[in-house]
Chains A and B, each alone.
Chain A
Amino acid sequence: MIMRISESWVRLWHNRLAISGLVLVLGLFAVALLARWLAPYDPDFIDLKQVLMPPSPAHLLGTDTLGRDVLSRIIFGARVSLLVGFVAVGIATLIGVLVGALAGYYGGVLDQILMRLVDLMLCFPTIFLILAVIAVLGPSIWNIMAVIGLTGWMGVARLVRAEFLSLREREFVVAARALGASDVRLIWRHLLPNALTPVMVSATLGVAGAILVESSLSFLGLGVQPPTPSWGNMLTMGKDNIEIAWWLSVFPGLAILVTVMSYNLLGEGIREAIDPRLRD
């Protein structure tokens, strides 16, 4: 086990794309944490004499319709994206692991019911389901984190179930059961640790997905509400001023693209490091 992990690390280290993803992800964390010191302006400072200024040395990425500095708002927007991404994926992973573990371990009728539930949830286009819940609960950053989590666990559940099904009959599990280990102990100590790596990959990719969903919702006016800066709601302003201020439509989107791509690169990198056969 130890051997395998260190081998994987070496492989990850030699994957240039994955490492650049990792560096970007860490960089984003730094930006989100140090936003207060990195941002050249107060992101909420309204300056009506500097409205809709194109990029210039004073405002590197220009200003918006209220004269707020776009760069500073993008820097603070990183906080929202990362927060939503991590909390939503945390919720989704928790539910997914629980459902998948129960289905895979106990099998039978419980498995049947839970997997039909997964199929059922997959019938709904995620965004429709999310919007319906938002219609009831109202848009706020906490609600969208919960909703993205509650509608995003199905993939993890399938993954964990598949792992459990194959692990369940392996010698070490049978041996532990023969020694009288309880179900909880078997699941928690023997099965779960061995199913964790694919979950890690899907969680990394999940953060990217959650950030995409959050920004779409905020863009539609149903996610993070202004004046809190999020990349999605900044782009709403870009759309409303698309004919006069291109910079409002370009830079926040670029931030989303780079963020999502770095999580994807890292996730794919971990996947390949764990299972080198995937590199065709």
Chain B
Amino acid sequence: MIPMLLGITLVSFLVIHLAPGTPTELQTTMNPKASVEAQKRLRELYGLDQPLQVQYWEWLKRISRLDFGRSFSPDRRPVWDKIRERIGVTLGLNLLSLLIILTVALPLGVLAAQRAHSWFDKGTTLLVFFGFAMPSFWLALLLMLFFGVYLDWLPISGLTSLGFSHLSFWEKFRDLGAHVTLPVLGSAFLGLAGVSRYMRGSMLEVIGQDYIITARAKGLPERVVIFKHALRNALLPVITILGFSLPGLIGGSVIFETIFAIPGMGQLLWWAVMARDYPVVMGELVIVAFLTLLGNLLADLAYGLADPRIRMG
């Protein structure tokens, strides 16, 4: 865990120092708006006159106190403040779509495996192929076009309507719900493909095992065989896959938040990259990798809970 954390910071640090020349030069040659003052701030922030390892060490000490420096944008706010107020939105939306993925993909995978090679199975296979090939931003555009513009059912931008603060609790709930429906459905659809595919494969493998034949042979009803004997074992590899799919899910936030104008970490990163706001970019990179690491850790723990054989001592 600790070496990984250090590694994450090292990679993030190197990414910014990847550029030929120093970041201050870049700032001036590529962004004419960068003032001499901004240059000086940048040099101070990274201690650019120091050797690289010293720079890294100093930066490491600072970020361990969650001090990522100040944004280059006109507001000059601390990077951590900017990220902190957006983290909840991004995590919330991703958890919501993870929830949808689980409630739809797992039954879908189980049913497809149970009726392997039926029409239902072929239909889901087709759906999965679409899911794998669908560009996320195009899906978002189509959702916008159909539900937002053509049917005019759902809002296509932002997290809340104008005058949100004057609404009652339930109206607020409805308004928020309407705004997040399209982005959450969009990112859930993409995750669906992978998870349902793995669930199907894992289930098919388990169904072929001897102990399932035994369970059937002793006359247990099919429902019990599938849901009690097979499903619990088939779920194990899926937990790992969920852990692996986290980076993709969070990565999708950049796309969905940018398109639907949602004030989350993804949108902030997009703005920061557009404006070459390096402190924000570095802060985002470190924090998002840290979140992914945390997610993987949780998946490992969940695996331990689900499988008594590998429970830690």
A residues contacting B by CB (< 8 A) are 116-117, 119-129, 131-138, 208, 212, 215-216, 219-222, 232, 235, 238-239, 242-243, 246, 249-250, 253, 256-257, 260-261, 264-265, 280
Given contacts A120-B7, A208-B133, A261-B133, contact A127 B251 (CB under 8 A): yes
Q: Are the CB atoms of A125 and B292 closer together than 8 Å?
A: yes
> Separation in Å of the A236 CB from the closest CB of chain B?
9
CB-based nearest A residue for B250: A125
Does B293 reach chain A (CB closer than 8 Å)? yes
Contact of B11 among A120, A137, A222, A261 (CB under 8 A): A120
Q: Which of B37-45, B57-65, B134-142 contacts its partner?
A: B134-142
Q: Are the CB atoms of A124 and B135 closer together than 8 Å?
A: no
Does B204 reach chain A (CB closer than 8 Å)? yes
Q: Are the CB atoms of A264 and B133 closer together than 8 Å?
A: yes
In the assembled complex, the Cα of A116 lies from the Cα of B274 at a distance in Å of: 32
Contact of B132 among A116, A239, A264 (CB under 8 A): A264
Q: Which of B13-21, B102-110, B174-182, B212-220 contacts its partner?
A: B13-21
In the assembled complex, the Cα of A220 lies from the Cα of B258 at a distance in Å of: 8
> Separation in Å of the B130 CB from the closest CB of chain A?
8
CB-based nearest A residue for B284: A128
Does B230 reach chain A (CB closer than 8 Å)? no
Given contacts A135-B276, A222-B274, A253-B142, contact A216 B136 (CB under 8 A): yes
Give chain A residues whose Cβ lies under 8 Å from the Cβ of B289: 123-125, 128
Q: Are the CB atoms of A265 and B30 closer together than 8 Å?
A: no
From 132 to 179 in chain B, residues with beta carbon under 8 angstroms from any chain A beta carbon are 132-138, 141-142, 144-145, 148-150, 156
Does B269 reach chain A (CB closer than 8 Å)? yes
From 3 to 30 in chain B, residues with beta carbon under 8 angstroms from any chain A beta carbon are 3-4, 7-8, 11-12, 15-16, 18-19, 23, 26, 30
Which size class do B's interface residues fall under? 35 or more
Q: Are the CB atoms of B18 and A122 closer together than 8 Å?
A: no
Q: Are the CB atoms of A132 and B141 closer together than 8 Å?
A: no
Q: Are the CB atoms of B278 and A128 closer together than 8 Å?
A: no
CB-based nearest A residue for B269: A131
In the assembled complex, the Cα of A215 lies from the Cα of B250 at a distance in Å of: 18
Give chain A residues whose Cβ lies under 8 Å from the Cβ of B135: 212, 215-216, 219, 232, 253, 256-257, 260
Give chain A residues whose Cβ lies under 8 Å from the Cβ of B145: 242, 246, 249-250
Q: Are the CB atoms of A239 and B19 closer together than 8 Å?
A: no
In the assembled complex, the Cα of A242 lies from the Cα of B132 at a distance in Å of: 24
Known contacts A124-B292, A216-B255, A235-B141, then 9 further A-B pairs from the complex at CB < 8 Å, ordered by chain A residue: A116-B4, A122-B244, A122-B247, A126-B251, A134-B273, A135-B277, A135-B278, A219-B255, A257-B138
A-B contact pairs, 8 of them (CB 8 A): A131-B273, A132-B15, A135-B281, A137-B18, A216-B255, A232-B135, A243-B149, A261-B133
Given contacts A124-B289, A126-B247, A131-B270, contact A136 B7 (CB under 8 A): no
CB-based nearest B residue for A126: B251
> Separation in Å of the B202 CB from the closest CB of chain A?
12
Does B185 reach chain A (CB closer than 8 Å)? no
Q: Are the CB atoms of A256 and B285 closer together than 8 Å?
A: no
Q: Are the CB atoms of B274 and A124 closer together than 8 Å?
A: no
> Separation in Å of the B260 CB from the closest CB of chain A?
10
Give chain A residues whose Cβ lies under 8 Å from the Cβ of B272: 135
Q: Are the CB atoms of B141 and A239 closer together than 8 Å?
A: yes
In the assembled complex, the Cα of A129 lies from the Cα of B284 at a distance in Å of: 10
* Residue of A131, A137, A238, A249 contacting most chain B CB atoms (<10 Å): A131
Give chain A residues whose Cβ lies under 8 Å from the Cβ of B248: 125-126
Contact of B141 among A122, A242, A265 (CB under 8 A): A242
Given contacts A120-B8, A123-B293, contact A128 B129 (CB under 8 A): no
In the assembled complex, the Cα of A116 lies from the Cα of B272 at a distance in Å of: 29
Give chain A residues whose Cβ lies under 8 Å from the Cβ of B258: 220
In the assembled complex, the Cα of A157 lies from the Cα of B8 at a distance in Å of: 19
CB-based nearest B residue for A130: B251
Given contacts A208-B133, A238-B141, A242-B141, contact A132 B285 (CB under 8 A): yes
Contact of A260 among B8, B133, B281 (CB under 8 A): B133
Given contacts A124-B11, A280-B116, contact A249 B250 (CB under 8 A): no
Given contacts A125-B288, A126-B247, A242-B149, contact A132 B142 (CB under 8 A): no
Does B234 reach chain A (CB closer than 8 Å)? no
In the assembled complex, the Cα of A134 lies from the Cα of B270 at a distance in Å of: 11
Does B206 reach chain A (CB closer than 8 Å)? no
Q: Are the CB atoms of A120 and B4 closer together than 8 Å?
A: yes
Contact of A124 among B23, B116, B278, B285 (CB under 8 A): B285
Does B282 reach chain A (CB closer than 8 Å)? yes
Given contacts A138-B30, A216-B137, contact A249 B247 (CB under 8 A): no
Give chain A residues whose Cβ lies under 8 Å from the Cβ of B274: 221-222
CB-based nearest A residue for B278: A135
In the assembled complex, the Cα of A245 lies from the Cα of B11 at a distance in Å of: 43
Give chain B residues whose Cβ lies under 8 Å from the Cβ of A246: 145, 149-150
From 250 to 303 in chain B, residues with beta carbon under 8 angstroms from any chain A beta carbon are 250-252, 254-255, 258-259, 269-270, 272-274, 276-278, 281-282, 284-285, 288-289, 292-293, 296
